[in-house]
Amino acid sequence: MAVAEQLAARDSRHAVPTTMRAAVYRGVNDVRVETLPVPQVGAGELLVKVHTCGICGTDLKKIATGSHSAPRIFGHETSGTVAAVGAGVKGFVPGDRVVVFHHIPCRDCFYCRHKTFAQCETYKKVGCTAGFEPSGGGFAEYVRVMDWIVRDGTVSIPDGVSFEQACFVEPVNTCMKGIETLRLSAEERVLVIGQGPIGILLSVLAKRTGAMVITSDLYPRRLTIATSFGLQNGIDASVDDTVSTVRKRTEGRGADAAILAVGSNALIRTAMDAVRPGGRVLLFAQTARGEAAIDPAAVCVDEKTLLGSYSASVELQEESVRFVMSQEMNLESLISHRFSLSNAVEALHLAAHPQPDSMKVVIQPCSDFGGS
Ligand SMILES: [Zn+2]
Ligand SMILES: [Zn+2]
């Protein structure tokens, strides 16, 4: 190819069309694939062509409960290629492979000073949008990344690391934050209820602290998948009682800690019964507001502690990036289903109704065009 042709080919690869497809949330359980204008970027901003966007439990919750006004474009576990840069952007050029966080705290307010970053007003302001009220925007072909996210929440993907691996930076961060909240020490025994992709991730990170991990799931298939990540102590909850099995494996005491990686509130009781007196229970998947039954004496008399962790911590950003990019864990292999944007509705449906063999479900907007 002549030099001019090569340059033209390179330019066309980064040429940005005027319209794109996006999966638009239009109301409760109503997501439609629509054609929209490609977002314009201003000074300090980036336009990213989305390669892979993971579907998160919080996206599903928002779609199913109508907790947010419509229309919106969700999706925040986004990796892709820089397609355009706004005036004054330093450090990124078109063609760079990146992963973007969708919100970053101010590090200065009351909540930031108390390290509860997810409660910071700046943090709640979402800095990535594919149109409408900023809501992540990863379920679209192109996403606009606003200036403060370009500065503090955009990470280059090293050569040799796939877009699929890279899109796990945000979920890994949220799981690391949960593990940190639980303050596990080496030799402690921790039960992780639920072995979906997040349960497996939490289990691997818990094991990394030196703790002994016991896993449980109603689907034996998921326990088998978990063993491929080095998680050998599975309880098949479809045949064995989780609480008594955990007690048997802990000299009758119960686990030192338990993590609930399943949304069902009925399992809060299971988790609390499975820990020893003085043990801790981390609610990781209880994102829907409501009421749940607990035994108050388990907290008062048995001195068990209920803890929660939600969203990411800016203080764990570097460590989560290192964990993902070093490929210490093959996160890509947690992906069981890849959907094009045209099939985004099907993708969301599957993610909301997990099957024994479904793990992480991702949407790959550019796969409609033969990949990139
Ligand atoms: Zn997420
Ligand atoms: Zn703040």
Average pLDDT, the chain: 94
On the question of pLDDT at 24 being above 90, the answer is yes
On the question of pLDDT at 16 being above 80, the answer is yes
Give per-residue pLDDT as tens, 120-169.
Answer: 999 889 999 999 999 999 999 999 999 999 999 999 999 999 999 999 99
On the question of pLDDT at 370 being above 60, the answer is no
Model pLDDT, residue 372:
38
Q: Is 141 left (phi over 0), alpha (psi -120 to 50) or beta?
A: alpha
Least confident window among 13-22, 94-103, 133-142, 181-190: 13-22
Average pLDDT over residues 16-21: 96
On the question of pLDDT at 312 being above 50, the answer is yes
- Residue whose token pair is 């864990």: 329
Ligand located closest to 284 CA: 1
Residue 263 Cα to ligand 2 midpoint, Å, equals: 28
Which residues, at least 6 apart from 79, have a Cβ–Cβ distance to it below 8 Å? 50, 51, 52, 53, 97, 98, 99, 100, 157, 163, 164, 166, 167
Model pLDDT, residue 118:
84
Residue 58 Cα to ligand 1 midpoint, Å, equals: 6
Residue 331 Cα to ligand 2 midpoint, Å, equals: 30
On the question of pLDDT at 5 being above 60, the answer is no
Average pLDDT over residues 284-308: 94
Q: Which residues of 159-196 are buried (b: 16+ CB within 10 A; e: fewer)?
A: eebebbbbbbbbbbbbbbbbbbbbebeeebbbbbbbbb
Query: Would you say 50 and 141 are in contact if contact means Cβ atoms under 8 Å apart?
Result: yes
Distance CA 191, CA 95 (A): 43
Q: What confidence category does residue 3 fall into, taking pLDDT thresholds of 50, 70 and 90? A: low
Residue 313 Cα to ligand 2 midpoint, Å, equals: 12
On the question of pLDDT at 316 being above 60, the answer is yes
Ligand located closest to 78 CA: 1
Ligand located closest to 312 CA: 1
